[in-house]
Chain A
Amino acid sequence: MLELIGVSKNFRDSDVITQALQPIDLTVQLGEFISFIGPSGSGKTTLLNVLGLLETPCSGDYVFAGKNVSTLNDKEKSRLRNREIGYVFQSFHLLPDFCVYDNIEMPLRYSKMHSNLRRKRVWGLLEQVGLSDFAKYKPSQLSGGQQQKAAIARALVTEPAVILADEPTGNLDLNSSAEVMALLTTLNQQGTTILMATHNLDLAQQSKRVIEVRDGVIKERCLVHYASRWGIEL
């Protein structure tokens, strides 16, 4: 279980302080598929970053699988990010100097896993996302959809409990978006917790729970609310 208790986040730029997250409480059960929706600048990404230990909250406590992680040092946070959390970014963020195989393998190198085990796991994921034939390709030689699949494989390689996906289809065409969403749904069905930030309600409806983020405040929403507001057929 992931639990935020009174967590807030401010950003300071010289004299200007922006409150990205008001003090919020949020509980995520393992195995959930949650979509965080809201307009740009609403605080979705900041919330995901806090949940993924990429940002340190200004106040409140973050309990990850029963452990308060707010007070961990850099090394402990790095280890937790590496082993328990996988990230899928909107712009993929594959490292351009690595081939697909090396990109996927990278988190395992940070976890100091033995090379034989690494090889086995990376090839398994390449099979799973359908990129076996592209293992030695550089990211620049792949399509957007293929790059995002590689990024998902990289997020999955340490077999994390939670996948954080920030606008995972934001840079993809319709077909690739559908493939990526199908992959995330399958993963969730296999027990992986998926937390996705999106402003696309079509995608949000594929999750089990929708949370609206607006001006740094979260509101639990059922999809019917949005369906009636924006005329979506459910």
Chain B
Amino acid sequence: MKDLKPIISSLLRAKMAPLLLILQIAVTFTVLVNSVYLMVEKHADITAPTGLSENVLFSFQIPHQGEEQSQKIANMYKHLEAIRALESVERVSIINSIPLSNRGGGFDIKMNPDDPVYVSKAAAFTGSYDLIDTMGVKLIAGESFSLVDEEALNDLGLGRSTGVIISKALAQSLFPENWHQALGSTIYLNQVPHNIRGVVEHLAGPWSFWQYKKNNIILPTIFLMTDITFLVRSHEGLREQTMKDVVELLMQDPHLHIDELKTFTEFKEAAYQAQNAAYTTLQFVIVGLVLITMLGVFGQTRFSVLKRRKQIGTRRALGASRMEIIRYFTIENLLITLCGATLGALLTILANNLVVAHLELSPVPWPYLAYSSAIVILSGLIAAIQPAINAANISPAEATRTV
């Protein structure tokens, strides 16, 4: 660190340019930290496991407007049987709403009916008894539903005593210390008790933006809405073929309408469209910020080299090797970027405190300050390489030149 003292002294002598660069790096750092944090959050959201066998699922709706309930149920089971008989179909179930479709319903969850406030919230999926198998959701505790649990009703069947299966995330929010305690426990949905008979590992909720999107409940009730939604699971790699087969099968009945024929992949893409756009925009913002930082450092180092050609020549004449000149400018640059990153970190902490206090948002976790510091310092070092090499190439004879 023999160069540290003169570098600091030199920076203090002509402080305006380094000071402006430090400020630029600090502001860039603050924006960078938040952008990186948002980007990582978006990425985590987009790539979060849905728990479903995404590549083999598709769904469609059949409107049953004006039909008697018994007729509706008969037609529904007739269609289920016909579809199940298709060779390319592995499973088919009825479901009230498709995960990530932006349509669905939810409940406040209480552990005691007299509690004034809810413990958590959750969305409810209702449908055929084998819905879990059709979705491909993994049961990690307890038991699944059986055929005897299934019933078709004009509501969600909250009064039934079949029990419910919940997602692990919901179990964890109900029993933070040990989610296994959820199994066999009773929860209250609309003041009605339900025994938890199973827990599934992951299950995406109906809404990608909902705070409680990981909290979900499954009930074995076929909710007879006007439009019945079928969820079909094809054999691996045969989804397109299966969709075609199902459409051909159902179109044999000229009075039948099929709506909303969509793969689960399409639902997911639509649900995360905004998130994906924001993710891409943030990537551009981050690259732009890094480039701006690099340009600033490059300009400052280049200016510093041009201004000190004579001094560099003198150092070379006194015995400094090329590497020692490169090291000098690298340390100088490192000092500036470190000051900028430190000031930026302070600004970020200040901004965080304001955000947490006034907007009730979660603060940026500490590791992001470290990641962003690493990005800023690394990009600064890369930007300083070319001017530092230029400096090292200055001839020692520069010390004796008069022009």
Contacts and interface: CB of A to CB of B under 8 A. Distances in A.
B317 interface: yes
Interface in A166-224: 166
Q: Number of contact residues on B: which range applies? A: 20 to 34
B316 A78 contact: yes
A54 B319 contact: no
A11 to B, nearest CB: 10
Nearest to B13: A97
Interface in A10-57: 45, 48-49, 52-55
A106 B318 contact: yes
A154 interface: yes
A110 B397 contact: no
Given A54-B317, A95-B6, A97-B10, A45 B400 contact: yes
B318 A110 contact: yes
Interface string A137-179: 0000000000000000010001000000010000000000000
Nearest to B12: A97
B266 interface: no
Contacts of B310: 93
Nearest to A82: B319
Contacts of A74: 321-322
Contact of B399 (A54, A107, A109, A158): A54
A121 interface: no
A109 B322 CA distance: 15
A54 B396 contact: yes
B319 A111 contact: yes
Contacts of A93: 310-311, 314, 399
Contact of B400 (A79, A97, A110, A166): A166
A89 B318 contact: no
A79 B319 contact: yes
B319 A81 contact: yes
Nearest to B7: A97
B74 interface: no
Given A45-B400, A49-B400, A97-B10, A81 B395 contact: no
Contacts of B395: 54-55
A70 to B, nearest CB: 16
A130 interface: no
Contacts of A53: 396
A97 B9 contact: yes
Interface string B282-326: 000000000000000000000000000011001111111111100
A10 B248 CA distance: 88
A87 interface: yes
B238 to A, nearest CB: 67
A82 B318 contact: yes
B318 to A, nearest CB: 5
Interface string B353-376: 000000000000000000000000
B332 to A, nearest CB: 11
A110 B6 contact: no
A87 B397 CA distance: 11
Nearest to B323: A75
B255 interface: no
A102 B9 CA distance: 12
A107 to B, nearest CB: 5
B311 A95 contact: yes
A185 B9 CA distance: 36
Given A93-B310, A97-B9, A81 B399 contact: no
Contact of A75 (B2, B314, B321): B321
B400 A154 contact: no
Contact of A87 (B2, B317, B321, B324): B317
A24 to B, nearest CB: 17
A98 interface: yes
A96 interface: yes
A87 B13 contact: no
A49 B398 CA distance: 10
Interface string B327-343: 00000000000000000
A106 B5 CA distance: 12
Contacts of A78: 316, 319-322
Interface in A54-75: 54-55, 74-75
Nearest to A87: B317
Contacts of B317: 52, 54, 81, 87
Contacts of A48: 400
Contact of B6 (A52, A54, A83, A98): A98
A154 B317 CA distance: 12
A87 B318 contact: yes
Contacts of B399: 54, 87, 89, 93
Contacts of B324: 110
B316 A95 contact: no
B397 A54 contact: yes
A93 B323 CA distance: 21
Interface in A72-126: 74-75, 78-79, 81-83, 87, 89, 93, 95-98, 102, 106-107, 109-111
Contacts of B400: 45, 48-49, 54, 89, 166
A12 B319 CA distance: 26
26 contacts: A53-B396, A54-B316, A54-B395, A54-B397, A54-B399, A55-B395, A55-B397, A75-B322, A78-B316, A78-B322, A82-B318, A82-B319, A83-B319, A93-B310, A93-B311, A95-B6, A96-B311, A97-B6, A97-B10, A98-B9, A102-B6, A107-B319, A109-B2, A110-B319, A158-B319, A166-B400
Interface of B: 2, 5-6, 9-10, 13, 310-311, 314-324, 395-397, 399-400
User: Which 5 A-B pairs have CB atoms at the shortest separation, nearest pair first?
Assistant: A82-B319, A110-B319, A54-B397, A78-B321, A97-B9
